[in-house]
Amino acid sequence: MAGLVVSGTQVSYIGQDCREIPEHLGRDCGHFAKRLDLSFNLLRSLEGLSAFRSLEELILDNNQLGDDLVLPGLPSLHTLTLNKNRITDLEYLLDHLAEVTPALEYLSLLGNVACPNELVSLEKDEEDYKRYRCFVLYKLPNLKFLDARKVTRQEREEALVRGAFMKVVKPKVSSEDIASSPERHYTPLPSASRELTSHRGVLGKCRYVYYGKNSEGNRFIRDDQL
Residue 220 has pLDDT above 50, yes or no: no
Q: How confident is the model at residue 216 (pLDDT cuts 50, 70, 90)?
A: very low
- What pLDDT digit, counting tens, does each position of 113-137 carry? 999 976 666 777 788 899 999 999 9
**What pLDDT was estimated at residue 187?**
41
CB 138 within 8 A of CB 160: yes
Selection from 80, 126, 76 nearest residue 102 by Cα: 76
> Exposed, middle or buried, 78 (CB in 10 Å: 0-12/13-18/19+)?
middle
**What pLDDT was estimated at residue 222?**
52
CA distances from 194 to 183, 190, 199, 202, 222 (A): 15, 7, 9, 11, 19
The strand pairing partners of 79, in sequence order, are 57, 106
Q: How confident is the model at residue 168 (pLDDT cuts 50, 70, 90)?
A: low
State the average pLDDT over residues 162-191: 51
Strand 79-81, strand 106-108: pairing: parallel
Give SS3 for 141. Answer: coil
Give SS3 for 69. Answer: coil
Q: What is the pTM of this model?
A: 0.73
Integer Cα distance of 68 and 169 in angstroms = 18
Alpha helices by DSSP H, listed for the chain, are 23-29, 90-100, 126-139, 153-162, 175-180
**What pLDDT was estimated at residue 188?**
43
**138 CA to centre of own chain:** 18
State the average pLDDT over residues 218-225: 50
Which backbone phi and psi does 131 adopt, to 5 degrees? -65, -40
**Residue extents of the structural domains in the chain:** 4-165
CB 64 within 8 A of CB 44: yes
What percentage of the chain exceeds 70 in pLDDT? Answer: 71
Which backbone phi and psi does 32 adopt, to 5 degrees? -125, -15
Integer Cα distance of 58 and 95 in angstroms = 18
Tell me which DSSP letter residue 14 carries: -
Q: How confident is the model at residue 2 (pLDDT cuts 50, 70, 90)?
A: confident
Domain covering 4-165: architecture: Alpha-Beta Horseshoe (3.80)
- What pLDDT digit, counting tens, does each position of 187-197 carry? 444 444 444 44
